[in-house]
């Protein structure tokens, strides 16, 4: 089973959604984890927008990337520019990919505007993950 680590700064939204989406869309074909360079907590709006598409991430938690530095991964995917710059060396990662996605938790505006920002990132991730699954080495 291929191992994938999604990495962002806070491990609160983008990487959490990516982790759940890959697990769900691949039917469990990948061993998927996520972490942050400066983890906080799973963002409540990420919980909401994932629930909208039938994926429950309430059991996920933010983790520090240091926990996984010595582990081997087939893919290390950074989902924000800051994490890419701060990413520690993963000598046992076979491939590193970078998906530059805006931070939905930094969106300005009212509740509807914030929901829209999270939905855009969720949907962008779903598209990228679908393409990733189709192109991933068997």
Distance CA 74, CA 94 (A): 5
In order of start, what are the domains of the chain with their CATH numbers? Answer: 2-133 (3.40.50.2300)
Which residues, other chains included, contact 7 with Cβ-Cβ below 8 Å and sequence gap of 6+?
Answer: 15, 34, 35, 36, 37, 65, 76, 77, 78, 79, 83, 87
Confidence category of residue 23, pLDDT binned at 50, 70, 90:
very high
Which residue among 25, 87, 116, 133 is the active-site one?
Answer: 87
pLDDT surpassing 70 at residue 138? no
Distance CA 114, CA 105 (A): 7
pLDDT score of 84: 54
Give the bridge partners for 32, in sequence order: 4
> Is position 87 annotated as part of the catalytic site?
yes
Which residues, other chains included, contact 33 with Cβ-Cβ below 8 Å and sequence gap of 6+?
Answer: 3, 4, 5, 6, 19, 63, 68
Q: pLDDT digits over 85-113, tens only?
A: 665 566 678 898 999 999 999 899 999 99
Q: How many helices (H) and strands (E) does the chain have?
A: 4, 4
Which residue among 80, 83, 93, 101 is the active-site one?
Answer: 80
Which residue among 4, 5, 7, 8 is the active-site one?
Answer: 8
Confidence category of residue 25, pLDDT binned at 50, 70, 90:
very high
Q: pLDDT digits over 39-90, tens only?
A: 999 999 999 999 999 999 999 999 999 899 888 999 999 998 765 566 556 6
> Is position 8 annotated as part of the catalytic site?
yes
> Is position 91 annotated as part of the catalytic site?
no
Distance CA 131, CA 78 (A): 16
pLDDT score of 89: 64
Nearest to 135 by CA among 104, 107, 106, 97: 97
């Amino acid at each position: 089973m291929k191992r994938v680590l999604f990495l962002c700064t806070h491990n609160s939204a983008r990487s959490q959604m990516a982790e759940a989406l890959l697990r769900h869309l691949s039917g469990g074909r990948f061993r998927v984890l996520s972490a942050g360079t400066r983890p906080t907590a799973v963002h409540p709006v990420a919980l909401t927008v994932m629930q909208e598409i039938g994926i429950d991430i309430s059991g996920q938690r933010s983790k520090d990337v240091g926990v996984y530095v010595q582990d081997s991964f087939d893919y290390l995917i950074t989902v924000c520019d800051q994490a890419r710059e701060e990413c520690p060396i993963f000598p046992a990662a076979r491939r590193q990919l970078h998906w530059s996605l805006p931070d939905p938790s930094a969106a300005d505006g009212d509740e509807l505007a914030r929901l829209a920002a999270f939905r855009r990132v969720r949907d962008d991730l779903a598209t990228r993950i679908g393409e990733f699954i189709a192109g991933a080495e068997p």
